[in-house]
Every structure is written in structure tokens, then in C-alpha cells.
Amino acid sequence: MNYIYLTILMPCISFFITFFNNSQKLFIKKLCSYLSVIFIFFAFLNSIYISIKFFYYPSHFFIYNLWNWIGINNSPIQFNFFIDKLSLIMLVMVTGIGFLIQLFSCWYMKKEKCQSRFFSLMSLFIVSMMLLVLADNLILIYLGWELVGLCSYLLISFYYKININCTAAKKAFLMTKIGDIFLFFSIIIIYNVFHTLSIHSLFTILNGSDSFFNSKILEVITFFLLIGSIAKSAQFPFQTWLSDAMVGPTPASALIHAATMVISGVYLISRTNFIFSLTPDILFLISCISCFTILISGLSALVQHDIKKILAYSTISQVGYMFLALGSQSWNAAIFHVVVHAIFKSLLFLSTSAVILKSNLEQNIFKMGGLRKKIPLVYISFIFGISSLLSLPIITAGFYSKESILISVLGNNFTIIFFVFSLLGVFLTSMYTSRLFLFVFYGKNFFKNKNFINYKIEFAYYFPLIILNMLSTFILILIFNKNNVFPINYFYLNHKKIIFELISFLISSSGCLCSYYIWNIDKNNFIKKQYIKNFFHFIVNFLLKGWYFDKLYNLIFIFPHNFILRLINKDPIDKKLNLLKYNFQYLNKFMIKIEFSYLRKYFLIFILSIIIFLSVCIITIII
């Protein structure tokens, strides 16, 4: 395990090589991109090696000391890596998914001019996430947290010459920054109360402690941690930035949604679960937020036209399930769903990349159709990815992770209403994913030969898709032992498990059938039916605009902000200061005007001055 530093060092080297190649052009673009992939691949191999070594390690955790970083009140904050099952599972997932996405990007970005910049940002993104999951103290976690936010901002605004992309990046940056501030405050309070920022020390102090159960200070700390997490993971009320963030390159979206930015909030709560376990009211709040997020994201996805936005709302919904598991103290189920979601969501995003690229950058699903014969591998990949998203029983990995969450929610001490919301989410998920699948791959072929681009198929194209197809099935269950990350501490309804699995399957199937009836039996006529458009016009617009949350935020925050700015601009003191400035400007201009080089003009001014002086003297004598 002493080689753990190599796991983070290799993507760092990749970042510096690609970064300097972007400015100095040291290598050709293709070589640079494959160098980046090779470094990430070795990082993945090293993380696998460390995981195997840890399997035989006698303790439950291992702290790898690198150096003393900073000091607070003569107490050094060390730059250490905290290695346990949670950090290793996250590490393998981040490097593995990162490697496959980087490899696919070699095919997707091969015609882009700024390949080096793209791969340098992707490498830095992976480094930031690795720093976050390996950190042994809250300051280091915060550093990784901020770097993740910065990288997502730079990748969302990758095509920075388009104004709407920059606006989306700024929106994502500012909304997640609100959460960052709350996270920073929580760290300050933790240090002030416990005089340590070490995760292990905090665990030693708080684990099993009755004196802190339901204490107000812990409620404040966990509430601030929760705000930081839901902002980063795009949960209600911060969900609006993620759907707008789809303007970046699609492989970058895959990395943001599957293995880095969006799941960092889930990781933070899982890492600090021993604090949240002492605050049941905050856990109840997490469950409420997750249920509302599942509802609004599922309904919004149902009316979207943009294929990437549908996947974005799907991510928000699935992360909602992870938060629902966290609220139910089912930490294992949450992390298990993080891993499964990372696989099938990266599969869906990479498949979508191929669909968009081959469809001449078209993203509207209403302008697609009949693509199953043109791109068979992508069609199969969508079947695997969507089956896992729909939790198809027995054969898909999504079935096992979703099942764990649903049963843990029902076994929770709160109320059955959360279980009902989670089943409603299952129904909505099946409807919008079936709709997407039917519009893209079935029905009338909107793409004539002139609009469809046949890109050359390469190893970098089909290898990631095949691997992700395999892992989105039960094969992942054979690799991933979900019950060993955390101790099992929830009521598991084994005796009624089969009943709830059957209910979930029936609800999911009914959603698919509804979707098939509405959008596939006669989808063109459905689109054209004017009375349906009129009847649902307001509801569709309401959902299409994301429940008008942006307008509400404009009304509450942007409008008062602009009003105060205008008010400050009309400040009388400011006006007087400006008046003085303008007088000096006029005087300066006047002095410049009278400074000329003609002798006759100087003589004229001299004569006029004499006349004015004599006139004043005469008037003074007469008076």
C-alpha cells in the first residue's frame, strides 16, 4: 500500500504533459491523448493492486503519511491518505470509469483542435476526485471539493466562444459555490468544537457517543454538510444547474455524471456517516429532499426534447435514490448504487456521444428515429444501459442496487410515504427512458444518408462500450461485494423481499407499456394532435422549463441584486465624487486645447489677458 501515491501521481503527470502540450505543442494531438489514457490506465491498475493488498491487511483502515501540510494553532494538518474499503471502492471506480471515458474520448475528440486542453482538464478532474476520496482530513477534502468544482466549470465552458456555454458554466459554478461556503462553515465549526479535522479522530470521538446524540451543534454541522452535498449533487433546490451543464463535450458530461462531480455529495455524507447517524432530524430532511428531487426530475425528464437533458434529469433522479438510501442510513445501498449508476450512466452517455456525433450533432430526439440498424453496437449498449436503469430483474446490476434502496427505505423507521415516492420514481423512470429509446431507435428514420455520418469504428470506440455493457449486468455483482463497505445497520426485510421486487418490476413494466402506447403506437399522430398540445400546453411548458425554478431564483435573488446595484449606482456621494472627476477631466481637456505651437495664438492670448487685466483695474478704480 506504500505505492498508493502512484495512483494520484500518474494522472498528475498526464495533466502536466497535456497542459504544456496545449501551449508548447510538444507532441502531436493523437499521441498526447493516448499518453493521457495510458497514465490513467496505470493509475487504475495500481488502485486494483492496492485493493488486493488491502484485502489481506489486518486492520480496517490504513493511513499513508506524506508530509505536514499546514498548521492551525500549532497543530499540524497533515497531507495523508486514508485508505479503507469506501475510499478504495471509490478509487477503483473513478480510475476505471475515467480510463474508459478517456479512451472513448480519443475517438470522439479526434477532430477537435483543442484535444490537449480537453485531456488535461479530464486528467485534472480525475486527480481532484481521487484527492477527495483519499483525503484523511476535512481540509484536504475541501481542496479536492473545490478542484472538482473548478474542473467542471472549465469543462462545461469548454466551447467558451459560445455565450450560452459560458452562462451555463457560471451558473453551475455559482450554485455549487453556495454549497462550498456552507461546507467551509461546517469545517470551521467542527474544528472549533472537536479541535481536530482528521476523519479518523472524529470517528473515534463520535462513534457510539450518546452525549452528542441529537445535539444542536451536530444538527448545525450536518445541516451545513447537507447543503454542501445537495448543491454539488444537484439535488433540490440546486438541481437546475445540471440540466444546463449539458453544453460541454458529451464524454465530459459522462465523467461529471458518472464518477466525479455529482456523486461527490453522496461520498461526503457517506464518509461522515457517523456524524449524520447522531442527527435523525437531518436524516429525515435528507429523505424529504430526495423524494421531492425524484419527483420533479422524473416529471421534467418526461417532456424534454434534448437527449442529453433527459439523461441529466435521469442522473438527478438516480442521485435522489442515493440520498434516499443515505436518509435511511443504508450507507451500503447508497455506495452500491453509486458504483452501479457510474457504470450504466457512463455507458448511456458514451452511447449518446456516438448518436449525436453520427447524427451530425443533432440532439433533439424528435428529429431522430430508426437508428437501430445504422449503429447496432450503440443500440445494444442502450438496451444494456436502459435495462440496468430500469432495474430489469436478475440479469442487470441496477436491479440489485435499486432493490437494496427500496427495501431499506421500507425498513426505515420514518414513514411509508418515502417508499411510495420511490415507487413513483420507478414508474417515471421507466416512462422517460422508454420514450427516449423509442424515439431514437424506432419509428420513422429522420436521417437520410446525407445527414447521417459514418465515422470509422476504432478500438477506442467499441472497447469501452463492450466493457461497460458487460459490467452493467449481474457480472458486476460477482465482483462487488456490497455488504462489506459499512457494517449493516438497517432492518432488512428478507422475508418479504420477493414481494417488493415483484411490485417494483410490475410498476416498471407498466411504465414501459404506457410509454409504448403513448409514443410508439402512433407517435407522429400523437405529436400532431393539436388538442393534446393545447390541453397539456401549460403543464408541458411548466415541466420543460424545470418547474420555473430559474424564474423563481431570478425573482428572489437576481432581481434584488440588480436593483441594489442600480441603487448604489445612483448614490449621491458617488455622484459628487464623479462630479469632481468630470471637472478635472474637463480642465484637462481645456489645458490640452490651449497647448498649441503657433506663436500668433500665444500672442493673441497675451493681448487678451492684458485687456482683461486693464479692464478689471479701470472698473475697480471707477467703483
Tell me: the pLDDT tens digits for 287-330?
999 999 999 999 999 999 999 999 999 999 999 999 999 998 88
Average pLDDT over residues 339-354: 94
Characterize 310-335 residue by residue with b for buried, 16 or more Cβ atoms within 10 angstroms of its Cβ, and e for exposed: bbbbbbbbbbbbbbbbbbbbbbbbbb
Average pLDDT over residues 166-174: 92
Tens-place pLDDT, residues 549-584: 989 999 998 888 888 888 777 766 777 777 777 888
Let me know the angle formed at the C-alpha of 298 by 295 and 304, rounded to the nearest 5 degrees.
140
CA separation for the pair 585, 579 (Å, rounded): 10
pLDDT band for position 605 (50/70/90)?
confident
Sign of the dihedral defined by the CA atoms of residues 7, 480, 316, 430, in that order: positive
Phi, psi at residue 79, to the nearest 5°? -90, 85
pLDDT at 169 over 90: yes
Write the DSSP symbol of residue 556.
I
Q: Provide the percentage of residues in the chain whose pLDDT is more than 70.
A: 89
CA separation for the pair 89, 68 (Å, rounded): 26
Average pLDDT over residues 530-538: 68
Instruction: Specify the pLDDT at position 207.
Output: 77
The residue type found at 614 is: L
pLDDT at 187 over 90: yes
The residue type found at 102 is: Q
What are the residues whose beta carbons fall under 8 Å from the beta carbon of 453, sequence distance 6 or more?
A: 357, 358, 359, 360
pLDDT at 512 over 80: yes
Average pLDDT over residues 507-511: 88
Which candidate, 133, 142, 408, places its Cα nearest to that of 283? 408
Beta bridge partners of residue 77, listed in sequence order: 70
CA separation for the pair 334, 89 (Å, rounded): 13
pLDDT at 31 over 60: yes
Instruction: Specify the pLDDT at position 48.
Output: 93
Instruction: Specify the pLDDT at position 152.
Output: 93
Instruction: Specify the pLDDT at position 111.
Output: 82
Is 316:547 a contact under the CB 8 Å cutoff?
no
Which comes out higher in pLDDT, residue 239 or 408? 239
Question: 231 is written with which cell numbers?
Answer: 448543491
pLDDT at 594 over 70: no
Instruction: Specify the pLDDT at position 611.
Output: 86
Alpha helices in 390-416 (DSSP H): 397-410
Instruction: Specify the pLDDT at position 544.
Output: 86
Instruction: Specify the pLDDT at position 521.
Output: 59
Instruction: Specify the pLDDT at position 186.
Output: 95
Average pLDDT over residues 50-57: 87
Rama region for 351: left / alpha / beta (φ>0; ψ in -120 to 50; rest): alpha
Is 412:290 a contact under the CB 8 Å cutoff?
no
Average pLDDT over residues 430-459: 80
CA separation for the pair 117, 28 (Å, rounded): 13
What is the residue-averaged pLDDT of the chain? 86
**Rounded to a whole number, what is the largest CA-CA distance in the chain?**
120
Is 242:312 a contact under the CB 8 Å cutoff?
yes
Instruction: Specify the pLDDT at position 563.
Output: 86
CA separation for the pair 571, 423 (Å, rounded): 56
The residue type found at 269 is: I
Instruction: Specify the pLDDT at position 593.
Output: 67
Phi, psi at residue 306, to the nearest 5°? -80, 125
Tens-place pLDDT, residues 464-496: 999 999 999 988 888 766 556 665 554 455 566
Q: Given 3-state DSSP classes, what are the helix, strand and coil percentages for the chain, each rounded to the nearest 5?
A: 75, 5, 20
CA separation for the pair 314, 320 (Å, rounded): 10
Average pLDDT over residues 138-150: 93
pLDDT at 433 over 90: yes
Is 360:453 a contact under the CB 8 Å cutoff?
yes
Average pLDDT over residues 214-237: 92
pLDDT at 522 over 60: no
Is 568:574 a contact under the CB 8 Å cutoff?
yes
Instruction: Specify the pLDDT at position 449.
Output: 57
pLDDT at 498 over 80: no
Instruction: Specify the pLDDT at position 144.
Output: 93
Q: How far apart are the first and last CA of the chain?
A: 104
pLDDT at 18 over 60: yes
Is 333:269 a contact under the CB 8 Å cutoff?
no
Instruction: Specify the pLDDT at position 112.
Output: 82
Which comes out higher in pLDDT, residue 403 or 529? 403
Instruction: Specify the pLDDT at position 524.
Output: 57
Instruction: Specify the pLDDT at position 403.
Output: 83
pLDDT band for position 114 (50/70/90)?
confident
pLDDT at 527 over 90: no
pLDDT at 116 over 80: yes
- DSSP of 411-461, one letter per residue? TSSS-THHHHHHHHHHHHHHHHHHHHHHHHHSSS----TTT---PPP-HHH
Instruction: Specify the pLDDT at position 292.
Output: 93
Cα dist from 603 to 128, 451, 608, 609, 612, whole Å: 74, 79, 9, 10, 14
Beta bridge partners of residue 63, listed in sequence order: 82
User: Residue 317, Cα to own-chain centre: how many angstroms?
Assistant: 13
